[in-house]
Amino acid sequence: MSTQKTLLIAGHAPGLGQALKQTFEAAGYAVVGVSRQGDWATDLRDPQATAALFDRLDRECPPLAGVVHNAMQFHRQEFLITTPETLQSVWASMVLTAFNVSQQAVPRLQAQGGGALIFSGASGSLRAGPKFSAFSSAKFALRGLVQALAREHEADGIHVAHVVIDGLIRSERTAQRFATADEAALIEPQDLALQYLQLFEQRKNSWTHELDVRPMAA
């Protein structure tokens, strides 16, 4: 009987998402990357669509080992011209998606005696700069959700961790958004993905609940 388990990447995209897929597959996991396009396209803001996604995972994939939540909507804009609709959209992309995914994942992990939920944070999870009112308020909220999940479900054997990515990850999107970024200060996605794998496979007597990652030059 196969002992392979499934990792769900919620918010799969080039850069870190692809590095996570390659790293976890190399470690023996069946990896399902979810975005708004492709075979597993799902709007994770929609609780019914998210439930349907997990039902499909149950039917078509090995048992769930856990989730990496990497969904986000980058937004940088002056506060006075940021609309309530924009604030709600940014919040939904990061917090509501995490809520919906966790409500589906937790019962499945409880039933099998444990697993892992890892959430991607950012510099804005800990400190907010100008023009980041919507983005940082959502990232702060995500961090609070993760802390609550960790304390509520650690007794179920579910390792919940938050990764503060305090820097820019090398990718084409980063090059477009931050053309003047120092090349020496970019985080390599493959190296970062290894940190996620290590969190995923930590023993229960030494769980890390928050990991702060930054390049040496930062």
Per residue, the 3-state secondary structure of 10-29, as one string, reads: ECCCCCHHHHHHHHHHHCCC
**Residue 185: CA atoms inside 13 Å, Cβ hemisphere, count?**
12
- What whole-number distance in Å separates Cα of residue 98 and Cα of residue 165? 17
Token match 């890390």: residue? 208
Q: Tokens in use for 142?
A: 């995500």
- What whole-number distance in Å separates Cα of residue 24 and Cα of residue 17? 11
Considering the domain delimited by 6-213, tell me its CATH architecture: 3-Layer(aba) Sandwich (3.40)
* Phi, psi (rounded to 5 degrees) for 45: -75, -15
For residue 25, what are the contacts with CB-CB under 8 A and spacing of at least 6? 31
Position 179 pLDDT exceeds 60: no
Domain ranges of the chain: 6-213
Predicted pLDDT at 38? 83
Question: Which tens digits make up the pLDDT trace of 48-102?
Answer: 999 999 999 999 999 999 999 999 898 999 999 999 999 999 999 999 999 999 9
* Phi, psi (rounded to 5 degrees) for 211: -120, 130
Residues in the chain: 218
Position 163 pLDDT exceeds 80: yes
- The DSSP element (H or E) to which 205 belongs, if any, is none
Share of the chain above pLDDT 70, in %: 91
pLDDT band at 1 (very low <50, low <70, confident <90, very high): very low
Position 191 pLDDT exceeds 80: yes
pLDDT band at 187 (very low <50, low <70, confident <90, very high): confident
Predicted pLDDT at 92? 97
Rounded to two decimals, what is the model's pTM? 0.92
Position 141 pLDDT exceeds 90: yes
